[in-house]
Amino acid sequence: MEFDFILACGDSFTEGCQERIGRGINGTWPGIVANHFGVPFANIATGGSSNTTIALQPVNTPHGNIQDGAWIDWSGIGDSKKPLIIFAFTIMDRWTYFHPEVGTIHSHYSIDPQYMEGINGNKWTAMQKHIPIDAFGGYSGKWLKTTTGKPYQVENFLWATIQAIMTAMQYQSLIPNATVLWGFIHEGSAYPFGKDITQLTTFEDDIVVDGVVWPSMDSCFNKWFDYKPLQRVLNEEDDIIGQGDRHPNRKGIQSIANIFIEGLNEV
């Protein structure tokens, strides 16, 4: 695959917990991958992002130079002729809301009402704390295609993720010579995946739907890891920051970067 720039979007698993890890933007997996291929990059991922806001990060992220745990020198794709844009999606149960005071779309890391108020949230999430589950928790009325031939009626949060993938793929149509890759890194407890991302299960590992056909599967980077979410490459013993924090440490970040390096070399 030919590319001359990498733009990485995602949540904390892509942002790389830079403040805690202490290796700056070059120590994140997008930085490692870009340095391996010798191309410039921008990592505009933000911790706690929902899939909807991840898909909007290329246009919704303010330009500028922010050092502490966030993007630096983000001012567009520069002189790139063939940008590679990677959307690293996350757990589906996050709350997307419009922040009227700031005037932009935001997301909150949890839809659990107790984590939407007080020190865990802000006045907007507190005001809306009952909306995600009470009003939005049901079915969207949309149906998901499966390889089993049995269509599945989609819940609202799953539908938002499907829309986010479709939104991400639009960049490939809009930006001349751009390549978009999407996939899942962070795996959650609501709609956890089964054997791979084509299976959605319950908390108790009961399969809810099998043979999920996500949009644009050809562009899904999980194919380089047997369609498993990349978080599963992390060894619980020595690849995560520590008990209570399952984000990848330096070794874990390198393991995720290796999947991208090997995958991109294959294409």
Partner 1 sequence: MKFDSIIACGDSFTRYHKTALEKTWPCLLGEHYNVPWANLAKGGCSNYEIALQPIQFQPDTHEWGNPNYLEFKKPLLIFGLTTPWRLPVFAPAEGRLSSIASILPEDLIYNPYTGVDEKMYEGTINRGIIHDWFQQIDIHAIELMHKWGQLFKDSTVLWGTIHFQWDDPGSVMTDTVKRGLEEEEGRIITLHRHVESKIGKSYCFNEITDWWPLQHCLGGDNNLHINWDDKSNLEFNPIDRHPTNEGIQLFADNLIKYIDNI
Residues in touch with partner 1 (CB under 8 A)? 52, 55-56, 58-60, 63, 75-77, 80-81, 96-98, 100-105, 124, 127-128, 131, 135-136, 140-142, 156, 159-164, 166-167, 170-171, 173-176
CB of 157 to partner 1, least distance (A): 8
Residue 24 or 188 with smaller CB distance to partner 1: 188
CB-based contacts of 59, cutoff 8 Å, min separation 6: none
Residue 7 or 257 with smaller CB distance to partner 1: 7
Q: Which strand (E) or helix (H) includes residue 30?
A: helix 29-37
- Beta strand spans in the chain (E): 5-10, 41-43, 83-89, 95-99, 104-108, 139-144, 152-155, 179-184, 200-201, 207-209, 240-242, 245-248
CB of 60 to partner 1, least distance (A): 7
Residue 119 or 174 with smaller CB distance to partner 1: 174
Rounded-to-integer distance, Cα 113 and Cα 92, Å = 16
CB of 59 to partner 1, least distance (A): 5
Rounded-to-integer distance, Cα 126 and Cα 113, Å = 8
CB of 117 to partner 1, least distance (A): 16
Determine how β-strand 240-242 pairs with β-strand 200-201: unpaired
Residue 173 or 189 with smaller CB distance to partner 1: 173
Residue 71 or 97 with smaller CB distance to partner 1: 97
Residue 10 or 248 with smaller CB distance to partner 1: 10
Hey, what are 44's tokens?
């505009």
Please give the full DSSP string across 43-77, using - where no structure is assigned. E---TT--HHHHHHHHHHSPPB---SSS--SBSS-
CB of 97 to partner 1, least distance (A): 6
CB of 158 to partner 1, least distance (A): 9
